[in-house]
Amino acid sequence: MEVSKTSSCSNFTNTTGIRPFEFTWQGKDRAFCDRQLKGPGWMVIQRRTDGNTDFYLNWSDYRNGFGDLAGEYFIGLENLHQLTSKLAPCELLIQLKDFEGETRFARYDNFEVGDEKSSYQLKSLGQYSGDAGNALSYNLRSKFSTFDRDSPDECAQKTEGAWWYSEMCGFR
């Protein structure tokens, strides 16, 4: 049986899991699609659950992506750029779950990440909705930082994490 590839998780409305996917720019062929999280069609771009995967990694790792789709991973900045520029507008849904199991959401209706020349700048978020707070808006237009390609304030090194840090390491 041949499985066809797609360029959107919205084509997988009946199942959650790892699916064949068309990432023509990097040769990747799978993505994790979630139909249970606020409706069908969501591609999981990052998952952190138990700390088994080291996320304090270099620029190359964040550009290309790392981890295991069945566990903890990050899909990669180049993939985010390609997805958000070619499939625009893209929604971003952030799910935060605390140690007591309480879940909150932040949803943005026009998420876009720039190219590598812009240091994968957080170009657009669009309108916010949700109950987790609009903290990511403080990082709009920030460049992505890793410990080996850091901001002038050395935020990635100080916080031991890669992110779109705003001035003076603000990441709220």
Per-residue pLDDT for the chain (172 aa), expressed as one digit of tens each?
233 445 567 766 677 777 777 665 555 677 778 777 776 678 888 999 889 999 999 999 999 999 998 899 999 999 899 889 988 889 999 999 998 999 999 999 999 999 999 999 999 999 999 999 999 999 999 999 999 998 888 999 999 999 999 887 865 5
Coil, strand or helix at 134:
coil
Question: Structure pTM?
Answer: 0.87
Coil, strand or helix at 80:
helix
Q: Which of 102, 78, 81, 83 is nearest to 33 (CA)?
A: 83
Q: Where are the domains of the chain?
A: 45-169
The answer to whether domain 45-169 has CATH 3.90.215.10 is yes
Q: Which of 13, 4, 15, 8 is nearest to 31 (CA)?
A: 8
